[in-house]
Structure 1
Amino acid sequence: MRGIITFALRQPILVVFLTFLVGIAGVVAYFYTPIEAYPDVTSTRARVIVQWPGRSAEEVEKFIVLPLTQAFSNIPRKRSIRSISLFGLGVVSVLFDDDVDDFFAQQNVASRLSGVDLPAGASAYLEPPYGATGEIFRYVLKGARPIRDLTALQNWVVRRHLLQVPGVADVVTFGGEEKVYEVQLNPILLDAYDLTTLDVVEALSRANINVGGDVIEQGDQAYVVRGVGLLEKIEDIENVLITLRGNVPIYVKSVGKVVVSAKPRLGTCGLNEADDVVQGIVLMRRGEDPSTVIPLVKQKIVELNTRFLPPGVQVVPFLDRTELVNTTVKTVLH
């Protein structure tokens, strides 16, 4: 201690200069250090969600969860593996050590997931890295349009633009109806033409594709040949050829009718007086600052309402974490 005091007395200019530098560093840290009102203290995690429609929990456990668990068992710096098997759904969560970053966890799980041979009809999804406090914004899509159209706008326009905002991990959709084209077959007509439902399904599968061709060269020019066969409207589906009976074509419209319908709904979402709305939940990536991400989300919503959404359709926010974060930070600082 005496040596430090002696050095400070002999070098006053150096001591004043160092004190000045420390003061500047403190001021910079005060204004630029990010403040998280609700820090995420959960462990680093990578979660894989697999959907296998129509399968029992036992089948999901045997053919989905166990192979994934075995593939993830030797990931480096893994702490534990947890899983849930439900009807048509399997969830496998890999927990890592506290000092492992999300990029390392996501990369290792994704590389092992690509090497697992899942059964036909099963689709796997690697959940983005967000924590328990990642929900920062909620909104509804309002407009004088059918609920199916609003759902399509949410999934194909709004969600895609919000995912481009820096710091956003995912945008989850609640409520709405997903539009589908439904073929209602007449069993009497099927029996009359000696056809089965499988024949119709195979015919629709063969018709709903684009086929690549070759190139035709004429002089200095080349023309690309391709077959366009994707079904776009009801008439296209009705005119799909199933088979021939005595040189007479049998179309889909010969054995049934095509209507616009929706997938079976497992529930509805309501807000205040509205019983059926399309809601979106914006989730923030782990480690991001909500005071920075939320203003960018609001800016993107203004852009959506003014440039991309059709007239009469608006994104209307109803839950914003900005006020809660500001109030919490103010309380802590004072």
Structure 2
Amino acid sequence: ILNEGSVAPQTIRLPSVSLPASIEIEKRMQQAIMEFPEVEMVVSKIGRTELGNDPQEPNESDPVVRLKPLDQWTTAKTMPELMQKFRERLTSVSGATFLISQPIQQRVDELISGVRTEATVKLFGEDLEVLRNKAQEIAEVLEAVRGVRDIKVEQVFGQPYLTIDIDRGKIARHGINVADVREIITTAIGGEVATRIFEGQQRFELVVRFPEQYRNSVETISNIRVSDHAGALIPLADLGTVQLEEGPGRISRDQLQRYVSIGFNTLGRDIGSLVAEAQQKITERVALPTGYRVTWGGSFENMERAMAKLQVIVPITIGLIFFLLYSTFNSLRQATLIILNLPFALIGGVVALWLTKEYLSVPASVGFINLFGVAVLNGIVLVSYMNKLREDGHSLDEAVTSGALLRLRPVLMTALVALLGLVPLAFANGIGSEVQRPLAIVVIGGLVSSTLLTLIMLPVLYQWLEGRSTGGIAASELRGGAVPTVYSVVGDTPHGNGEPRPARQSDGMPST
């Protein structure tokens, strides 16, 4: 995850929280965060903005914590460690839950799945009560998965509603219509436009409604008088039921289907294996009714899309490399021999990731693709030079031995140039190093294994394959090429059929 140099501890309260209580919770959160010496400043905003591109629930706040440079940190050495310290400290702040993320990462996660967490479980269904209960069960399962942090179940319920249920039998006895009751309720509580006021070119609507002391509780609203056809004033409580009920704060939909989201962040574990374990446990422990289903989103969904593309790109890349090798050497055998260098490179890349405890991420996958080119280049250098020696008249054994010795320095220089250029990225700790480091580690580890194994294994495989196909005869002899020979009557040796065979004096070996 990219280190942005800032932290965004999103604060989530109950939907019914008052503004003074929300401000008090925010102050206590800021005081707790400011206790860390790594924090330079905390800025918060509560509720929605006036712009529609940044929606925010009124019971949520979006603080931003600016951090000091990394070399001034004392509480933690890395961003994940510091975020975990924040989580532990904020557990003592009551009245809210906190999602620890980073500003840009938070926005990207929200654009991907609609939830500001790295991974999201979306539970689809029709009944909101069933969705809420099953979402809690899924959250309990996620708590038992190693590496899961900041579990957030979407607050479906918790919003208070004022419900006025009119008894049609009672209003009929008084000769009152439902529209009359609705009109007085609308005017008393919400307000009604009585007239318009003009001041020059400006126009204002004049809204009238009851004073606040006559509409701020269930009792006062129940005492609102409704006039019947005879002019008598009847309390609203005599015409129906007035009460506060808890209802949904919002209803989320995706493709016109209701869903409840369960979001969570990760710590100390790659998201791929974490989601795989969570999927298995949810399938085993949570029984979903018919018509209910679970989907996964967030950064995991984004990673899956990237990996799916790489599963297509990598075979195509290897295929193009093989085609170019075949067109260069005009030999299916030698093209296959050079392609065999790729597993040598994979060995070092995988071992390097394991030793450094990095994950197989998209940057690491790109590093493997970059590694394929360097590994193939080393093979081309060796094989092309061995072919040249054989065309010059040397035997197979001489070409393999001399080619491996003479091409040692060019192969090592090719690998060292790329390796040394990536060493600073592998040891970088600044902003952005989280993306660069896996790529550099894969390439460095792959270059080490590929170079060593290429210098040892490729000459052996070359001699074995060419020896089987030509029986050790020089390639130029098989192709009809002119090879300088010296004929000697005394030195002629018979073929198997008794005919004389001219002896050939080989050219001098190139010096090392």
TM-score by structure 1 length? 0.49
Structure with the bigger percentage of strand: 1
Structure with the bigger percentage of helix: 2
Q: Which has the higher contact order (CA 8 A, sep 6+)?
A: 1
